């Protein structure tokens, strides 16, 4: 009779505890910033494995997303004789939404899952514990560089995605479908606002970077230290990241573009 | 009070320790003394929380009650900074070695030096090679941990544990899963290091022969309590049936062969409806 | 693990590419380049009876070339007119003083913008000047209702003329 309520209560308490742990965790990690700045090499190595190794995936995806936008946009806009605004459509969708969101999802799949698995395995093989016993704080030495590297890489990757996407749209629209080149760029430039569109998109991607990396490193650190626990944590990391990114995207969009 | 009577100064002293995980009591009123400069073994069946005991001594876990004193300081009352200061003087050898998988052997051994000292590169190189020479793996310095056998990984981890010249080393199951030769190497290393560096060693193990051959004093732990203690010879000639069963490896005794179950015949004759 | 030099080079390239992408988005895709040149632009004002859906930042064009942007729109409590303030690029400082302004629509459903048609006067518009000749936005509903009204009244023959008699 009361069993469902007990289950609900159990799940609620468990979630609250996990959120609490995640917040304490991130506070501790943030205190590692001064040390990271002193030993910038630790950060660079992680920017390499988190950011540089994701470039190819992000570039190729950006190119195809941009090309598809060009193709689909042309089909719809040409019905209204508005092919000239193809550039606006492609650029606005990329800069405002697809750039930050798709990059964050790709980033969660490529870099986030790798971070979770790596940290989870380090925990399972007692590397983190061993570090503690060597009087080295694993949150500062291992987690903090990875966290800051993720936060730094995401906006750069999202910008790259948007730029290559615009190129892809240009290639299909102007190169293949014969939209006027001057109109493509000038309409785009007159309708895309630097502060409203580009800066807001950048803010979005920075927020997503923090969220995805936070989830990834926390899930790894909080994983049950067995091979099964690590694989579950990796799955959770990607799933939670996707939910969090899409949910926050709605909130941020409502705040940024909802007003008028 | 069960005090260690091995003589000499006491480095680690545990009094009335209780610790539980969830509802399971792992330690219930344990008293231990680890004398300075000796090898003390803590033995017991798997799952009795021997590793947990090492983590309690290292301050990674906090006891529910009781005190753990290391080198005159109560471990679980230290601030994080002080605790880290203390840990620099304690080496720990994990069961798996716990080598950092993305660094090669040389960098693994150099890791504590790079983290805690500002020594010049040439000095670090000299120190690391000395430690690797001590464990006989100077030639393996460029290998990655994945290329090492289990025994070699433990030796590298041992070299790493002694890089900061600790006063004490804790060994967590150093002999488990080793072939006889690696086992022999590890036994020799633990004994030699303890003598030559004047270390205090705590060996947690259930390998009776090897442990008894190097330990100065043995504590036997079962079900959260110290059930026997003494020098290896004294333990071997103990009157206690439990100690005898453990030391001789008998299948039946005070630790029953059968997991608690209802009566065999009745169980067979009455299948559940 | 690669050597630390290679990692540094790769990270350097990564950051550079990311920043270039951002720069490209700012300069090539958005209006940042234009926003910056607005600093020394000059301001002219025009009053309209009805501005339709004209918005701030709508383009101001002469002969189809964008020469400036709408910078502010306000309402005059005395005359009940809309006051539109425009900022014109200082490159185009030879607009005659009798230039007229009309609110036009880009395409059938496009955004509204201000079209300037230069007059023949010798004097040029300067900062703070007002354009006297203005033509309001065409509001589609009004045009259609007037068309239907005329059609009902005149019996169909004058229907075509009614729309252009504004």
- The pLDDT tens digits of the residues spanning B42-69 come to 988 877 788 888 888 888 888 888 889 8
- Residue A224 contacts B where some CB pair is shorter than 8 Å: no
Lowest mean pLDDT among A131-140, B130-139, C75-84, C100-109: C100-109
Question: What number is the average pLDDT over the span B74-82?
Answer: 86
B220 secondary structure, DSSP code = E
How many contacts, defined by CB atoms under 8 Å, are there between A and B?
52
Work out the pLDDT band at B129, boundaries 50, 70, 90.
very high
- Residue A124 contacts B where some CB pair is shorter than 8 Å: no
Work out the pLDDT band at C1, boundaries 50, 70, 90.
very low
How much is the pLDDT for A27? 92
Of A80, A81, A156, the CB nearest to C18: A156
CB contact under 8 A, A162 and C57: no
- Residue A46 contacts C where some CB pair is shorter than 8 Å: no
Beta pairing class for B168-172 and B200-205? parallel
With beta carbons under 8 A apart, name residues in chain B contacting A139.
none
How much is the pLDDT for B55? 87
Please give the residue that has the higher pLDDT: either B108 or B207.
B108
d(CA C155, CA A171): 54
Q: Which residue has the tokens 């560089």?
A: A145
CB contact under 8 A, A157 and C109: no
CB contact under 8 A, A156 and C19: yes
- Residue A79 contacts C where some CB pair is shorter than 8 Å: no
Lowest mean pLDDT among A57-61, A71-75, B156-160, B269-273: B269-273
- Residue A141 contacts B where some CB pair is shorter than 8 Å: yes
- Residue B85 contacts A where some CB pair is shorter than 8 Å: yes
Q: Which subunits have 3 or more CB–CB pairs within 8 Å of chain C? A: A
Lowest mean pLDDT among A77-86, A200-209, A214-223, B158-167: A77-86
List the single best residue of A62, A99, A159 to mutate versus C (max C Cβ within 10 A).
A159
d(CA C2, CA C10): 11
Of C7, C18, C20, the CB nearest to A44: C7
How much is the pLDDT for A119? 94
- Number of neighbours of residue A211 by Cβ within 10 angstroms: 22
d(CA B216, CA A175): 83
- Residue B109 contacts A where some CB pair is shorter than 8 Å: no
Of A126, A137, A141, the CB nearest to B98: A126
Please give the residue that has the higher pLDDT: either C108 or A206.
A206
Over the stretch A157-170, which tens digit does the pLDDT of each residue have? 999 999 999 999 99
How much is the pLDDT for A259? 58
d(CA C16, CA B188): 55
| CA A221 to centroid of chain Cα atoms | 19
- Number of neighbours of residue B239 by Cβ within 10 angstroms: 7
- Number of neighbours of residue B3 by Cβ within 10 angstroms: 12
Over the stretch C46-91, which tens digit does the pLDDT of each residue have? 888 888 878 777 888 888 888 888 888 888 888 888 899 888 888 8
In terms of CA atoms, which chain A residue is nearest residue B100?
A127
| CA A172 to centroid of chain Cα atoms | 27
- Cβ partners under 8 Å of residue A208, min gap 6: A100, A101, A103, A104, A107, A154, A158, A245, A248, A249
CB contact under 8 A, A202 and C57: no
With beta carbons under 8 A apart, name residues in chain A contacting B150.
none
CB contact under 8 A, C14 and A80: no
Please give the residue that has the higher pLDDT: either A193 or B273.
A193
Q: Which residues pair with B50 in a beta bridge?
A: none
How much is the pLDDT for C165? 42
Taking 50 as the threshold, does the pLDDT of residue C164 lie above it? no
CB contact under 8 A, C29 and A192: yes
* Average pLDDT taken over every residue of chain C: 80
CB contact under 8 A, A185 and C33: no
Nearest chain B Cα distance for residue A13, angstroms: 16
CB contact under 8 A, A126 and B96: yes
Of A127, A129, A141, the CB nearest to B60: A129
Nearest chain B Cα distance for residue A11, angstroms: 18
3 state SS for C102-136 = EEEECCCCCCEEEEEECCCCCCECCCCCEECEEEC
**Helices B105-116 and B121-134: angle between axes, nearest 10 degrees:** 130
Give me B97's structure tokens.
């070695």
- Residue B51 contacts A where some CB pair is shorter than 8 Å: no
d(CA C31, CA A86): 17
- Residue A27 contacts B where some CB pair is shorter than 8 Å: no
- Number of neighbours of residue C30 by Cβ within 10 angstroms: 25
CB contact under 8 A, B98 and A130: yes
Q: Which subunits have 3 or more CB–CB pairs within 8 Å of chain B? A: A
Q: Which residue has the tokens 């701030």?
A: C56
- Residue A121 contacts B where some CB pair is shorter than 8 Å: yes
Over the stretch A233-256, which tens digit does the pLDDT of each residue have? 999 999 999 999 999 999 999 988
Of B55, B99, B116, the CB nearest to A135: B116
How much is the pLDDT for C160? 47
Taking 50 as the threshold, does the pLDDT of residue B8 lie above it? yes
Residue B41 zone, left/alpha/beta (φ > 0; ψ -120 to 50; rest): beta
What is the pTM for the complete model shown?
A: 0.79
What proportion of chain B, given as a percentage, has pLDDT over 70?
97
Of A52, A82, A157, the CB nearest to C10: A52
Q: Which of A208, A147, A153 has the alpha carbon at shortest distance from A22?
A: A147
Taking 80 as the threshold, does the pLDDT of residue C38 lie above it? no
With beta carbons under 8 A apart, name residues in chain C contacting A185.
28
- Residue B88 contacts A where some CB pair is shorter than 8 Å: yes
* Average pLDDT taken over every residue of chain B: 84
Taking 90 as the threshold, does the pLDDT of residue A155 lie above it? yes
Please give the residue that has the higher pLDDT: either C162 or C77.
C77
In terms of CA atoms, which chain A residue is nearest residue B113?
A134
Within chain A, residue ranges assigned H as helices are: 3-30, 33-38, 40-50, 55-79, 86-92, 99-107, 113-124, 127-133, 138, 144-170, 181-191, 200-221, 227-257
Q: Which subunits have 3 or more CB–CB pairs within 8 Å of chain A? A: B, C
Taking 90 as the threshold, does the pLDDT of residue A229 lie above it? yes
Taking 70 as the threshold, does the pLDDT of residue A89 lie above it? yes
CB contact under 8 A, B94 and A129: yes
How much is the pLDDT for C156? 52
Q: Which of C56, C140, C14 has the alpha carbon at shortest distance from A153?
A: C14
Taking 90 as the threshold, does the pLDDT of residue B140 lie above it? no
């Amino acid at each position: 009779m009361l069993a469902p309520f007990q289950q609900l209560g159990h799940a609620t308490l468990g979630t609250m505890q996990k959120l609490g742990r995640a917040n304490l965790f991130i506070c501790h990690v943030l205190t590692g910033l001064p040390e990271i700045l002193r030993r910038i090499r630790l950060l660079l190595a992680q920017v390499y494995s988190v950011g540089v190794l994701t470039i190819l995936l992000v570039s190729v995806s950006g190119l195809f997303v941009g090309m598809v936008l060009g193709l689909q946009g042309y089909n719809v806009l040409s019905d209204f004789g508005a092919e000239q605004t193809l550039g606006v459509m492609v650029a606005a969708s990329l800069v405002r939404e697809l750039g930050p969101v798709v990059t964050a999802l790709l980033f969660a799949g490529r870099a986030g899952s790798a971070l979770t698995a790596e940290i989870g395995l380090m925990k399972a093989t007692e590397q983190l514990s061993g570090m503690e016993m060597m009087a080295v704080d694993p949150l500062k030495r291992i987690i903090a560089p990875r966290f800051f590297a993720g936060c730094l890489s995401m906006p750069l990757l999202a910008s790259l995605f948007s730029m290559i996407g615009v190129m892809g749209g240009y290639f299909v629209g102007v190169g293949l479908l014969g939209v006027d080149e001057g109109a493509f760029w000038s309409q785009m430039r007159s309708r895309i606002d630097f502060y409203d569109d580009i800066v807001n998109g950048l803010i979005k991607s920075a927020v997503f970077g923090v969220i995805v990396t936070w989830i990834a490193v926390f899930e790894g650190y909080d994983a049950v230290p067995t091979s099964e626990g690590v694989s579950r944590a990796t799955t959770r990391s990607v799933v939670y990241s996707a939910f969090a990114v899409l949910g926050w995207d709605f909130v941020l969009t409502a705040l940024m573009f909802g007003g008028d | 009070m069960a005090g260690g009577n091995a003589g000499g100064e006491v480095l680690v002293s545990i009094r009335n320790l209780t610790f539980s995980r969830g509802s399971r009591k792992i330690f219930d009123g344990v008293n231990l003394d680890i004398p300075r400069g000796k090898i003390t073994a803590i033995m017991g069946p798997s799952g009795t929380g021997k590793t947990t005991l090492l983590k309690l001594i290292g301050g990674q876990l906090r006891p529910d009650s009781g005190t753990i004193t290391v080198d005159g300081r109560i471990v679980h009352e230290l601030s994080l900074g002080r605790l880290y200061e203390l840990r620099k003087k304690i080496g720990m050898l994990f069961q798996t070695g716990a080598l950092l998988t993305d660094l090669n052997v040389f960098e693994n051994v150099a890791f504590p030096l790079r983290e805690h000292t500002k020594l010049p590169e040439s000095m670090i190189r000299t120190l690391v090679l000395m430690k690797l020479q001590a464990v006989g793996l100077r030639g393996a310095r460029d290998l990655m941990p994945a290329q090492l056998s289990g025994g070699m990984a433990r030796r590298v981890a041992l070299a790493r544990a002694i890089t900061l010249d600790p006063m004490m080393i804790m060994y967590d199951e150093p002999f488990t899963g080793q072939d006889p030769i690696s086992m022999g190497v590890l036994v020799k290393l633990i004994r030699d290091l303890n003598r030559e560096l004047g270390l205090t060693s705590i060996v947690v193990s259930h390998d009776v022969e090897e442990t008894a051959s190097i330990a100065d004093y043995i504590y036997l732990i079962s079900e959260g309590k110290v059930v026997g203690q003494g020098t290896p010879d004294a333990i071997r000639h103990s009157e206690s049936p439990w100690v005898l069963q453990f030391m001789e490896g008998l299948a039946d005794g005070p630790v029953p062969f059968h997991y608690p179950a209802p009566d065999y015949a009745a169980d067979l004759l009455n299948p559940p409806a | 693990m690669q050597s630390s030099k290679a990692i540094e080079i790769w990270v350097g390239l990564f950051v550079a590419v990311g920043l270039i992408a951002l720069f490209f988005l700012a300069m090539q895709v958005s209006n940042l380049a234009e926003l910056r040149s607005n600093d020394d632009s000059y301001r002219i004002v025009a009053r309209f009876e009805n501005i339709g859906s004209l918005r701030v930042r709508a383009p101001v064009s002469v002969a189809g070339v964008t020469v400036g942007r709408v910078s502010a729109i306000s309402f005059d409590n005395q005359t009940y007119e809309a006051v539109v303030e425009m900022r014109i690029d200082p490159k185009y400082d030879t607009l005659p003083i009798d230039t007229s302004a009309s609110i036009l629509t880009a395409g059938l459903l496009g955004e509204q913008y201000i079209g300037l048609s230069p007059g023949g006067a010798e004097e040029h518009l300067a900062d703070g000047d007002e354009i006297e000749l203005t033509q309001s936005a065409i509001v589609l509903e009004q045009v259609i209702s007037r068309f239907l009204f005329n059609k009902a009244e005149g019996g169909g023959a004058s229907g075509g003329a009614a729309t252009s008699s504004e």
